[in-house]
Amino acid sequence: MTTAPAARTALTHVISSEQFDRARLDDLFVRAAELDGARNQRCAGQIMATLFYEPSTRTRLSFESAMLRLGGTVLGTEAAHAFSSAIKGETLEDTIRMVSTYADVIVLRHDQLGAASRAAAVAAVPVINAGDGPGEHPTQALLDLFTIQRELGRIDGVHVAFCGDLRYGRTARSLALLLALYPGVCCSFVAPDVVQVGADILSRLDDRGVPHREVSSLADVIDDADVVYQTRVQKERFGDPAEFDLARTAIRIDADVMRALPQRAIVMHPLPRVDEIAPEVDADPRAAYFRQAANGVAIRMAVLDSVLS
């Protein structure tokens, strides 16, 4: 991969995968590889605020670890619905205006679609979307793409089979948008109808000429898959329990699936998993999900370095 000089301009807000082009992605991946395992002072004197209105383990802690490794400091609140002034009725906009005066960058996770854009519209500092309800999760998509590059040695031409909850799963949505920037990529969406991928994502893929298939059985596409990207059924987003029950019939990855999966392929998952990947799969070298999660620190170092430089 080459580093395009034009991409060395700072990122501002990180709201959607649609903001990225190939030059920017190449630049971020070069930076992430350079920063992986490093500890330096590139963000010394800078403060990152994490505002999380939804639970998180990996995203919040990997952002915090990234900032600390860059010599910066962190402050924030988890369970922000309960532990911030939101419980007193303060709007997200007012909270963001205030936090903008306390920190140099804000990492926001919220349960509402569009919350990150609303925050960016009033923030005096960069806002990074760490998940806005069923919308997007662009930094997860960056680390997922970085993982595909590291594991398979290429992104061009890969066939990714997305499985699970593709309706509410924001990580699959954001990753599909990034994959569309690479030639020869093809996407399969494997899910029961009730949680099939949204028409908005399919139309973006069509705009870019990315071939895609929507199927209900992994067996239909597994022979040709390079990546099986499994996701959790997003129980918290279902208004109707009957729909959740239908969605639970989504695909489970177990030893039988691994026997059918090509040797060259990998299994990814943004985590947390519930029961959609059997624990017996973990020992298989093609199970890439823990390596994938570990890549989150390097990618978030690269994102923070770009936003704050």
Catalytic center residues: 58-59, 88, 109, 137
Q: CB-wise, 7 or 233, nearer to ligand NCD?
A: 233
126 vs 270, which CB is nearer to ligand NCD?
Answer: 270
Do residues 19 and 9 make contact, with C-beta atoms less than 8 angstroms apart? no
Token pair for residue 133? 């309800």
- Residues interacting with ligand NCD, by CB under 6 A? 58-59, 131, 137, 140, 170-171, 232, 270-271
Instruction: Please report how close the Cβ of residue 3 comes to ligand NCD at its closest, in angstroms.
Output: 27
Nearest-angstrom CA–CA distance, 78 and 56: 8
- φ/ψ of residue 48, rounded to 5: -110, 130
Cβ-based nearer residue to ligand NCD, 22 or 58: 58
**CB nearer ligand NCD, residue 25 or residue 299:** 299
Q: Which residue, 131 or 138, is less far from ligand NCD as judged by CB?
A: 131
Roughly what angle, to the nearest 10 degrees, separates helices 138-152 and 22-35?
70
Minimum distance from residue 75 beta carbon to ligand NCD (Å) = 21
Q: Measured from the CB of residue 92, what is the shortest distance to ligand NCD in angstroms?
A: 18
Q: How far is the CB of 287 from ligand NCD (least distance, A)?
A: 16
What type of residue is 157? G
Whole-angstrom Cα Rg for the chain:
19
Considering the complex, what minimum distance in angstroms separates the CB of residue 272 from ligand NCD? 6
